[in-house]
Amino acid sequence: MCREADPARSDHPRIRLWLPKIASGLAQPPRWATLIAGMIDLLKLLGGLLVGVFRSHAAREAEMAFLRQQLVVRRRGSGCALPIA
């Protein structure tokens, strides 16, 4: 068996790079910023739900037609049939 084929038995010592962890105030945002971001996300979700409820039937049909067209274009470019779940 060749010695160079087995890296665990190599004559060269392994070099390990060690870098100290630096505690930075920029690593984590303050708690109030996290809460505000969560509230903004919640408002976006509620706004999207309200828009979805009051959207017209024609707008929904137009979106469905657009998404169907995107699937047709994607199928043409891929060369194989994509499973639709």
Owner of token pair 């995107």: 70
Range of the domain at 70: 30-76
In the chain, which ranges are continuous DSSP H helix?
31-54, 57-78
**Token digits for 66?**
């657009």
Domain annotation covers residue 38: yes
**Token digits for 75?**
């199928």
Evaluate if residue 3 carries a pLDDT over 80: no
The Cα–Cα gap between 31 and 64 comes to 41
Domain annotation covers residue 85: no
Beta carbons of 43 and 51 less than 8 angstroms apart: no
Q: Among 5-9, 11-15, 36-40, 68-72, where is mean pLDDT lowest?
A: 5-9
Domain annotation covers residue 63: yes
pLDDT at 69: 95
What domain count does the chain have?
Answer: 1
pLDDT at 1: 43
The reported pTM is: 0.40
Dihedral of CA 65/70/75/77: which sign? positive
pLDDT digits (tens, 9 = 90+) for 17-72: 777 777 666 667 788 888 999 999 999 999 989 988 888 889 989 999 999 999 99
